């Protein structure tokens, strides 16, 4: 009775709604960022040169006369994404079942309802939980090595640095979490609702599935290409990728080898070569001097 009285007198707080809005906002930014990120990383499928071009552009190399990049630009980009990532995760844990009993009840309800969107929510919760850890590892490495994004250094990190299992797990989690998240945002805020809500829901669900398959395919292909490069590059670990043009220039820049004057072959040597006994040749040479 007492608690009821206190509750009913209290004005409904707007904080949960604001937190939901912030979670949707950070989720939207991260979801769209991941689509761009995967296309940029996927440039390795088009070749080392394209990935190198993308990495240098992300380092704002076009602003420098020498074409070298500014890793500090990547550092700040990672810092921004990492901050949004942590805020999004913090807002997300509000919805997690905090005890096994709560988890049990949730599982039973999901099983009983067998409602696809509720099942999707559970996939999001599990993939979100995994990304707490796998995403943080990746982001911390990017934050502390912003200048190490290049076809060889990335491939070395994936193969010799054994990052491929983490990337594989992270890839599946982020593509599921991201596309389900964007789909649920459309449902939650009524985006692209159209006249027939039921029909637009089915269309959005189809788009969601196709986007998941599309980005997973790019991610897996990119990872395979990195693995092949990394295996072939194991004996040159840590060597940076040099653009073809730069490599040719470097070769040309090396001082052309000076023509070496032939050293006059001494008479003695010549005589020996012609089969004269060394002692004979030497005696002859000394007498000539
Ligand atoms: C600004 C922040 C980020 C930067 C600069 C970045 C950069 C990169 C780079 C350069 C790679 C290629 C592999 C490597 O060099 O190690 C990569 C791969 C990957 N990143 Fe990120 N990343 C960022 C944020 C994220 C976030 C927030 C996630 C997910 C939570 C993520 C998930 C992945 C995955 C799954 C791969 C493997 C891609 C594949 O399978 O081919 N990244 N990232």
Q: Name the residue with the closest Cα to ligand 1, atom 6.
A: 142
Q: Using the mean position of ligand 1's atoms as its centre, give its distance from the Cα of residue 66 in Å.
A: 27
- Residue 248: the pLDDT is 60
Atom of ligand 1 nearest to the CA of 30: 27
- Residue 1: the pLDDT is 47
C-alpha angle 166-171-176 in degrees, rounded to nearest 5: 135
- Residue 251: the pLDDT is 62
Question: Is residue 219 within 6 Å of ligand 1 at its C-beta?
Answer: yes
Question: Is residue 153 within 6 Å of ligand 1 at its C-beta?
Answer: no
Written in H, E and C, the secondary structure of 184-243 is HHHHHHCCCCCCCHHHHHHHHHHHHHHHHHHHHHHHHHHHHHHHHHHHHCHHHCCCCCCC
Residue 20 is encoded by which pair of tokens? 């939901």
Residue to substitute in 76, 138, 176 for testing ligand 1 pocket (most ligand atoms within 8 angstroms of CB)? 138
Of residues 3, 143, 46, the one with CA closest to residue 85 = 143
Per-residue pLDDT of the chain (289 residues; tens, 9 = 90+): 455 555 555 677 889 999 999 999 999 999 999 999 999 999 999 999 999 999 999 999 999 888 888 999 999 999 999 999 999 999 999 888 888 888 898 888 888 888 888 889 999 999 999 999 999 999 999 999 999 999 999 999 999 999 999 999 999 999 999 999 999 999 888 888 878 888 899 999 999 999 999 999 999 999 999 999 999 999 999 898 876 555 565 566 665 656 666 666 667 677 777 777 777 776 776 666 5
Within 8 A by CB and 6+ apart from 282, the residues are: 268
- Residue 23: the pLDDT is 95
Residue to substitute in 79, 160, 167, 223 for testing ligand 1 pocket (most ligand atoms within 8 angstroms of CB)? 167
Q: Kindly tell me the sign of the dihedral angle through the C-alpha atoms of 124, 130, 132, 135.
A: negative
- Residue 102: the pLDDT is 87
Question: Is residue 131 within 6 Å of ligand 1 at its C-beta?
Answer: yes
């Amino acid at each position: 009775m007492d608690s009821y009285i206190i509750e009913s007198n209290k004005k409904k707080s707007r904080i949960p709604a604001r937190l939901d809005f912030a979670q949707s906002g950070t989720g939207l930014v991260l979801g769209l960022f991941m689509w761009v990120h995967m296309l940029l990383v996927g440039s390795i499928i088009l070749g080392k040169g394209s990935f190198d071009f993308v990495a240098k552009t992300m380092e704002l190399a076009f602003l420098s006369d020498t074409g070298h990049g500014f890793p500090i630009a990547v550092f700040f980009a990672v810092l921004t994404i990492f901050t949004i990532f942590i805020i999004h995760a913090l807002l997300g844990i509000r919805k997690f079942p905090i005890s096994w009993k709560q988890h049990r009840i949730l599982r039973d309800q999901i099983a009983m309802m067998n409602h696809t969107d509720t099942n999707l929510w559970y996939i999001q919760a599990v993939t979100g939980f995994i990304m707490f850890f796998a995403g943080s590892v990746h982001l911390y490495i990017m934050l502390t090595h912003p200048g190490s994004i290049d076809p060889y250094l990335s491939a070395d990190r994936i193969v010799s640095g054994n990052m491929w299992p983490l990337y594989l797990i992270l890839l599946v989690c982020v593509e599921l979490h991201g596309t389900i998240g964007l789909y649920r945002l459309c449902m939650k805020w009524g985006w692209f609702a159209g006249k027939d809500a039921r029909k637009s829901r089915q269309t959005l669900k189809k788009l969601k599935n196709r986007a998941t398959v599309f980005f997973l395919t790019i991610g897996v292909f990119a990872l395979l290409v990195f693995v092949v490069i990394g295996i072939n590059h194991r004996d040159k670990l840590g060597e940076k990728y040099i653009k073809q043009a730069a490599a040719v220039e470097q070769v040309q820049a090396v001082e052309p080898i000076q023509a070496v004057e032939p050293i006059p072959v001494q008479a003695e040597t010549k005589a020996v070569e012609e089969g004269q006994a060394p002692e004979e040749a030497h005696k002859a040479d000394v007498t000539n001097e």
